Amino acid sequence: MCQYSSVDGHANDWHLMHLGARAAGGAGLVMMEATAVEARGRITSGDMGIWSDDHIKALSPVAAFIKQMGAVAAIQLAHAGRKASCDLPWKGGKPLTTEQGAAAWQTIGASAIPFDTTWHTPAEATVADIATIVAAFKSAAKRAYAAGFQVAEVHGAHGYLLHTFYSPLSNKRTDGYGGSFEGRTRLIREVTAAVRSVWPENLPVLVRISATDWVDGGWTIEDSVYLARQLKAAGADLIDCSSAGNTPKANVPVGPGYQVALAAAVKSQADVPTAAVGMITDARQADDIVLSGKADLVLIARESIRNPNFPIDAARILGVPPPLQNQYARAY
């Protein structure tokens, strides 16, 4: 089982993962989420970044502390693309306006298509921009390892930069990074290969995708199966299967475990380990997903925000020793 805690991509958020189900039986994993590989790739001005060597010094104590607590330090490398330059979520999270002056910045995307009518129109990435972005992910991975992180995840979901390239809803390019499936998926494949090239072979690289856009004419689960095979060949060890986020008009069938079937399809048809996420709120529900083979990990987000003690409660429910610090053991 995996506990996954964050509010996706916003202002120094964290994934708090606990790999401790009976099926997994592993150590803990704590992941720092949506860490921007470029300053323009931040969702908000409050987001964490790793585009400078100065960030190594700042993040090293974080990774060291996670290890000291007996867990594995992980980091999500991200670029928000056309969904960057937004206000802090607790201030509304809307795109920064020109009236806010220097607070706003130019966004970038696969094509000059805004996420919605009230959003910024991104600049269409040039081939030179694309080369810079691939290099930024590669350099960020090097810095992450130097800071002490042991797991790297490429964020290619939720309408952020890499998703805008592979989805036909947002990519209308006619060059080698657009048009066909191979063209549209080229950037996420190149980024994955670049990260893998500098990440130690004995440490995992994860890739998060939106496995479907939930829109007619958009990205589909069949596309994701094919992409997962290619990402595996590029060096990905696990595909983290989320969905949607690339259009405000998606018809998402939200409900308990509504994305588990996506992870199951990618796992079985692409022959690659997967993670499931989305309204997984109960320990037995999560345990069943892993034990039944639908996914290899379960990622629990908002439930662990609502209940920071979720790993302890889940362990007790599943009859395994809870991950307790000595100071708190008397309460259990």
Question: Where in the sequence numbering do the catalytic residues fall?
Answer: 160
Instruction: Classify residue 301 as exposed, middle or buried by CB count within 10 Å of its CB (0-12, 13-18, 19+).
Output: buried
Element (H, E) at 239: strand 238-242
Position 28: which residue type? Answer: G
Q: Kind of pairing, strands 14-18 and 108-109? A: unpaired
The burial class, CB within 10 Å (0-12 / 13-18 / 19+), for 117 is exposed
Assign 206 to helix, strand or coil: strand
Tokens of 165: 């390239």
Q: Residue-wise over 142-167: b if at least 16 C-beta within 10 A, else e?
A: bbbbebbbbbbbbbbbbbbbbbbbbb
**Pair of tokens at residue 23:** 């099926």
